[in-house]
Amino acid sequence: AQTVTQSQPEMSVQEAETVTLSCTYDTSESDYYLFWYKQPPSRQMILVIRQEAYKQQNATENRFSVNFQKAAKSFSLKISDSQLGDAAMYFCAYRSARAGGATNKLIFGTGTLLAVQP
């Protein structure tokens, strides 16, 4: 079974600085997807960025980028130029690339609470 581990329960960053959130996962599959979701106090789950395992190039979305190390099974999220609105719980998630049914479910880590200091 696949597992996702986020070893940092809480992180803090100064506004305008850069922070990296860690995520490791365990799987025997070779094709899968990885996601970072943001959950602000409003509780809404917002997709931040996603990575396809067969792509070597790291995904980027504006100030958000990932460092995907497939061999090490590591998927960290880097937030550049941090803003107050980035404060939230961040979840790393895994999904199998096999289509259909329960294999399409997201497997979540336990989350990292990010605080942004003004």
Using CB under 8 A as the criterion, which residues of the chain lie in contact with another protein when the complex forms?
4, 33, 35, 37, 42-47, 50, 52, 91, 97, 99-106, 108-111
Give dist(CA 118, CA 74) in Å, integer.
30
**Please, what is the minimum distance in Å from the beta carbon of residue 74 to another protein?**
18
Q: Which amino acid is at 108?
A: F
Nearer to another protein, 43 or 72 (CB): 43
Phi first, then psi: give them for residue 100, nearest 5 degrees.
95, 145
**Please, what is the minimum distance in Å from the beta carbon of residue 14 to another protein?**
27
Nearer to another protein, 82 or 87 (CB): 87
Nearer to another protein, 65 or 82 (CB): 65
Residue (of 116, 101, 109) closest to 8 by Cα position:
109
Give dist(CA 72, CA 50) in Å, integer.
18
Whether the CB-CB separation of 78 and 66 falls below 8 Å is answered with yes
**Please, what is the minimum distance in Å from the beta carbon of residue 43 to another protein?**
4
